[in-house]
C-alpha cells in the first residue's frame, strides 16, 4: 500500500506540525480536533482552522511553501470522522491520556477503511495500554510513530511496533516516512521514552544535578556540555529553555512513574525547587518570560541574563573562557581528565550517560547504531553516546570506572576488549553487537553516503579546500571542505581540474558534500584581507577566475549536477546556477546575498538569473520582466527557506529535483547525472535583449519609493546604481543582444568598483565580526 491521503487527529503544536510536514510531501491531509464548548455552527472546526492559520505565521516555518497549506483540510471529531474512510494513514496526536486515546481509537475503528494504518505520536505510553480492549484487526494495523518537534526540521522518527502489528504496516510507514518525509527512521523497543528521550532525558537530569552539586554556573555548564562534546551550543540549560521548563518537568515525572525502581534514572533525577519557582512565575523558557536565561528589556536595553542556580537571581550572562575547554580542544578525554570543577563535571556527566546507555542495549534498541542515530537525529548531537565512548577510548573508560569502584556494563567491557564500539573492515564501517562481535553497518536501499566512499577509497585529486571522489559508474563527486565550505582559489582550482579530468574517463560530475552547509559562498575574510592591503589585482583575478571556471563548468562536455543541502549562499548559489541540473535536499537555503556585504554577484549570478527568467516557458516575456525579477531577488538579498521556495525564485528550474531525505541526496544526484549523460550535449549560449536606459529608469522609480519609506540606506543606493547597470545591459538598448561575456564584464567592473568602496569594507568587516549585516 502507498500513502496517498492521511489524517492527523489533534491540532496542537505537534499534530499541526505533523500535518504540515505530510503536506510538504505533497500528500493531502485531514486535520481534526474537538469541537469547542459552545462553539457556533460555523465555528465547529475552529481549532483545526486556527492551527492552519498559525502554520502560516510560525517561524521557523513548518511549511516548506505557503501553498502547502492548501493540502490541509480542517475538520472536527464530531462531524468529520467519516472522512477517515478516505485515508491510508491516520496519526493520533492527542493528550497523553490512555482513556482519551482509547475512546478515540474506538471511533476511528468504526470509520477507517480496511488496511488503513493507525499510529500514535505518544512518547510515554506502551502499546499494550493503547490497544487494550481493541479488536485484533485494529492492533494489526497499529504502531507508534514518535516524531520530534518541530516535525519538519527534526529528522528522527522512532517506530515502535507491537507484538500484533503487521509487517506490512511497519514497512509501509517506514518507506513513506523515509522517502517522502525525509526521516531517519529508527526502530525502537516498546519501553518508556523509547530511545532518544530515554537517553536524552537521563543526560539532561544528570547534567543539571551535576552542575548544581558541582557549583557551576549555567554558562559554565553549557560551555562544557555544548560544542566540546559535539552537542548544540545551547548545552543543557539552553536546551531546557528551548524545550520549555514545564514540558521538561512533565516528561521527567512521566519517566519517573514509568521506569523500574532500580533504573539509574532515579539516581540522577533531582527535584530542584528553582524549577518549580520559575514555572510558577511564568519563566517557562523561551516561550515564556525566560528561563535559565532571559532577555532583559528594561529601559529599552536588550541584555541577556543568566540565573544563579543557588540564589535564583539574574545577572548579565557571561561567555566563560574555560581553561579545560581551551586545553582539551577536540580531545574529549583531556577534557574529562582536566583537574578543575569543569573537568570533573564533564567526566561525571559523560561517565553516567555512557554507562547508562551501555546498560540499555538491547533493552531499548537492537544495537548501538540505532541508539547513536537516535541521538544524532533527535537531539542534534554530532555523535551518539557510543561514538562518544570511542572518542574517550572504551578501554580507558573501563579502567577509570573500575578505579572509582563503579559498575561496568558487560557491553562496555566487550567494547574495551574488542578495541571500541565501531571499527572498519575492508573499508566498511562496522559496529559492535551485543554478542561482542562486529557486524557491517548496512545502509538502506537508495542511500549513498560520501563518508562511506571516503572510508573505502582515496581521492582522485585533493587540495586544502576541495576533493574529487569516484562514486563509481563513471561519476565523480566534487566535495568542498574548507571552513564552512567557503569558496577560495583552491576551491575554484578543483572545479577547473574537474572540467579537465571528467572527460578523460568519466560520464558526469556531482557537486556535493556532507557538511552542515553546502557552502556559505566566497571567502569574504580573504577578500577583506586583500582589500585592506590594497591587493586589488588579486581580488580582480579571483573574480575573473570564478567567472571563467563557472562558465567552463556550464559548457563542459559532460553533465554537472549540483546537490546542495543547508545553506548555499552567494558564490555557492552561483555555482549551482551553472550546473545542468540541481538535485536539492528539501532543506536547502539559497540565494544571491552579495548586496548584504555591499557588492553584487560577481561569478555569473546576475547573468544566470536573468537568463533563467528570460527563457522560462511560463515567465512573462519582453526585456523588462526578467530584469524586474532579477532586481527584486538580488537587490533584496532574498534567501529561499526551502528548495520549494528556491524553485519559485528560479534558482531551481522546473525540471530540477528535490530529495526529502538527506541520506538519499547523493544517490539521487548520481542517478540524475547518469540519466543526463546518455546523449549529452552542452547547452547553447543564450543572448538576451535587455532594456538599457529605459529599464534603469523603471527600476529607479521603484527604488525612490523605497527611499521615501526610509528603506534604502546610503550604501544601498551605491549598490543599487551598479546593480541597475548590470541587469539592464549597460549601454545597450532592447534592440541589441547582450551576450554572456558582455554581462560577465559588467558584473566584474561593478564588483571591483563596489569592493573598493569604504561602505562595502565596513559591511564586510561587520559581517565577519558579528555574523549580521550592517545597514550603513
Catalytic residues, by residue number, are 574, 594
Containing 566, the helix (H) or strand (E) segment is strand 566-569
What end-to-end distance do the CA atoms of the chain give, in Å?
58
8 Å CB contact between 465 and 496 = no
b/e sequence 724-763, b meaning 16+ C-beta within 10 Å: bbbbbbbebebebebebebbbebbbbbbbbbbebebbbeb
Q: Do residues 368 and 436 touch, judged by C-beta distance below 8 A?
A: no
Closest CA to 199 of 332, 434, 379: 379
Grid cell listed for 576: 549551482
Nearest residue to 4 via CA among 116, 170, 152: 116
What are 678's three cell numbers?
546518455
Helix, strand, or coil here: 97? coil
Distances (CA, A) of 621 to 626, 647, 689: 8, 19, 11
CA angle (183 as vertex; 181, 185 as ends), nearest 5: 130
Q: How far apart are CA 540 and CA 703, in angstroms?
A: 29
Work out the burial of residue 313: count CB atoms within 10 Å of its CB; fewer than 13 is exposed, 13-18 middle, 19 or more buried. exposed
CB 513 within 8 A of CB 486: no
Q: How far apart are CA 391 and CA 330, in angstroms?
A: 9
- What angle separates helix 385-392 from helix 410-418, to the nearest 10 degrees? 50
Q: How far apart are CA 625 and CA 609, in angstroms?
A: 12
User: Which triple of cell numbers denotes residue 760?
Assistant: 562595502
Measured distance CA(198)–CA(189) in Å, rounded: 11
Q: What is the dihedral of CA 720, 723, 725, 727, to 10 degrees?
A: -130
Q: In the 8-state DSSP scheme, what is residue 81?
A: G
CA distance 639 to 711: 18
Task: Indicate if the alpha-carbon torsion angle 398, 402, 407, 410 is positive or negative.
Answer: positive
CA gap 69, 53 in Å, rounded: 9
Residue 154, C-alpha cell as written in the block: 527534526
Neighbours of 585 (CB within 10 A): 25
Cα separation, 318 vs 309, in Å, equals 15
What is the C-alpha separation between 321 and 325, in angstroms, rounded?
Answer: 8
Interatomic CA distance for residues 51 and 37, integer angstroms:
17
**Alpha helices (runs of H) in 188-236, residue ranges in sequence order:** 196-214, 218-225
| Count of H-run helices and E-run strands, the chain | 32, 23
466-472 and 475-480: which strand pairing? antiparallel
Amino acid at each position: 500500500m502507498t500513502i496517498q491521503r492521511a489524517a492527523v487527529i489533534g491540532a496542537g503544536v505537534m499534530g499541526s506540525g505533523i500535518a504540515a510536514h505530510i503536506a510538504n510531501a505533497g500528500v493531502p491531509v485531514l486535520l481534526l480536533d474537538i469541537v469547542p464548548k459552545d462553539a457556533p455552527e460555523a465555528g465547529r472546526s475552529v481549532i483545526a482552522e486556527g492551527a492552519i492559520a498559525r502554520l502560516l505565521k510560525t517561524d521557523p516555518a513548518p511549511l516548506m511553501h505557503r501553498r502547502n497549506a492548501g493540502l490541509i483540510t480542517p475538520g472536527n471529531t464530531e462531524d468529520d470522522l467519516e472522512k477517515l474512510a478516505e485515508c491510508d494513514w491516520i496519526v493520533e496526536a492527542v493528550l497523553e491520556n490512555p482513556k482519551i486515546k482509547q475512546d478515540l481509537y474506538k471511533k476511528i475503528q468504526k470509520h477507517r477503511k480496511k488496511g488503513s494504518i493507525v499510529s500514535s505520536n505518544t512518547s510515554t505510553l506502551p502499546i499494550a495500554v493503547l490497544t487494550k480492549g481493541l479488536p485484533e484487526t485494529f492492533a494489526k494495523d497499529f504502531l507508534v510513530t514518535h516524531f520530534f518537534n518541530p516535525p519538519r526540521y527534526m529528522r528522527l522518527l522512532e517506530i515502535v511496533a507491537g507484538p500484533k502489528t503487521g509487517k506490512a504496516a511497519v514497512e509501509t510507514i517506514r518507506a513513506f516516512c523515509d522517502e517522502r518525509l525525509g526521516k531517519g527512521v529508527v526502530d525502537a523497543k516498546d519501553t518508556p521514552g523509547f530511545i532518544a528521550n530515554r537517553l536524552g532525558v537521563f543526560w539532561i537530569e544528570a547534567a543539571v544535578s551535576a552542575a548544581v552539586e558541582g557549583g557551576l554556573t549555567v554558562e559554565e555548564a553549557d560551555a562544557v556540555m555544548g560544542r566540546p562534546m559535539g552537542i548544540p551550543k545551547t548545552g543543557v540549560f539552553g536546551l531546557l529553555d528551548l524545550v520549555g521548563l514545564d514540558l521538561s518537568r512533565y516528561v521527567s515525572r512521566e519517566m519517573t512513574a514509568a521506569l523500574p525502581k532500580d533504573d539509574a534514572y532515579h539516581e540522577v533525577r533531582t527535584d530542584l525547587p528553582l524549577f518549580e519557582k520559575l514555572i510558577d512565575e511564568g519563566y517557562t523558557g523561551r516561550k515564556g518570560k525566560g528561563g535559565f536565561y532571559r532577555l532583559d528589556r528594561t529601559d529599552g536595553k536588550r541584555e541577556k541574563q543568566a540565573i544563579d542556580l543557588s540564589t535564583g537571581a539574574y545577572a548579565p550572562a557571561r561567555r566563560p573562557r574555560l581553561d579545560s575547554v581551551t586545553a582539551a580542544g577536540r580531545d574529549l578525554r583531556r577534557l574529562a581528565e582536566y583537574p578543575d570543577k569543569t573537568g570533573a563535571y564533564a567526566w561525571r556527566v559523560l561517565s553516567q550517560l555512557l554507562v547508562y546507555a551501555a546498560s540499555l542495549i538491547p533493552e531499548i534498541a537492537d544495537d548501538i547504531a540505532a541508539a547513536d542515530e537516535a541521538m544524532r537525529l533527535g537531539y542534534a548531537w554530532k555523535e551518539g553516546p557510543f561514538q562518544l565512548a570511542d572518542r574517550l577510548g572504551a578501554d580507558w573508560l573501563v579502567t577509570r570506572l573500575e578505579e572509582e569502584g563503579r559498575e561496568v556494563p558487560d557491553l562496555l567491557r566487550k567494547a574495551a576488549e574488542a578495541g571500541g564500539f565501531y571499527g572498519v573492515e575492508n573499508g566498511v564501517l562496522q559496529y559492535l553487537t551485543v554478542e561482542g562481535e562486529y557486524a557491517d553497518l548496512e545502509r538502506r536501499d537508495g542511500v549513498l553516503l560520501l563518508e562511506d566512499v571516503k572510508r573505502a577509497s582515496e581521492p582522485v585529486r585533493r587540495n586544502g579546500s576541495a576533493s574529487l571522489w569516484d562514486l563509481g559508474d563513471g561519476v565523480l563527486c566534487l566535495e568542498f571542505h574548507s571552513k564552512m565550505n567557503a569558496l577560495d582559489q583552491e576551491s575554484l582550482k578543483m572545479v577547473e581540474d574537474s572540467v579537465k579530468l571528467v572527460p578523460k574517463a568519466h560520464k558526469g560530475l556531482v557537486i556535493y558534500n556532507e557538511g552542515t552547509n553546502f557552502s556559505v559562498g566566497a571567502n569574504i575574510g580573504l577578500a577583506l584581507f586583500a582589500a585592506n592591503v590594497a591587493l586589488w589585482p588579486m581580488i580582480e583575478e579571483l573574480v575573473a577566475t570564478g567567472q571563467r571556471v563557472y562558465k567552463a563548468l556550464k559548457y563542459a562536455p559532460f553533465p554537472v549536477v549540483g546537490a546542495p543541502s543547508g545553506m548555499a549562499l552567494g558564490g555557492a548559489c552561483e555555482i549551482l546556477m551553472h550546473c545542468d541540473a540541481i538535485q536539492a535536499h528539501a532543506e536547502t537555503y539559497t540565494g544571491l546575498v552579495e548586496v548584504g556585504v555591499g557588492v553584487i554577484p560577481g561569478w555569473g549570478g546576475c547573468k544566470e538569473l536573468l537568463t533563467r527568467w528570460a527563457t522560462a516557458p511560463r515567465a512573462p516575456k519582453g526585456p523588462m520582466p526578467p530584469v524586474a525579477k532579477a532586481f527584486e531577488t538580488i537587490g533584496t538579498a532574498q534567501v529561499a527557506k526551502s528548495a520549494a521556495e528556491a524553485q519559485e525564485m528560479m534558482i531551481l528550474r522546473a525540471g530540477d529535483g528535490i530529495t526529502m531525505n538527506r541520506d538519499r541526496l547523493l544517490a539521487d544526484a548520481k542517478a540524475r547525472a547518469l540519466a543526463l549523460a546518455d546523449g549529452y550535449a552542452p547547452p547553447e549560449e543564450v543572448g538576451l535583449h535587455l532594456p538599457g536606459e529605459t529599464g534603469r529608469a523603471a527600476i529607479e522609480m521603484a527604488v525612490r519609493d523605497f527611499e521615501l519609506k526610509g528603506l534604502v540606506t546610503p550604501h544601498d543606493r551605491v549598490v543599487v546604481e551598479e546593480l541597475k547597470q548590470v541587469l539592464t545591459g549597460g549601454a545597450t538598448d532592447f534592440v541589441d543582444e547582450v551576450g554572456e561575456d558582455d554581462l560577465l564584464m559588467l558584473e566584474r567592473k561593478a564588483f571591483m568598483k563596489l569592493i573598493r568602496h569604504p561602505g562595502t569594507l565596513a559591511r564586510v568587516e561587520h559581517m565577519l565580526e558579528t555574523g549580521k549585516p550592517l545597514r550603513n
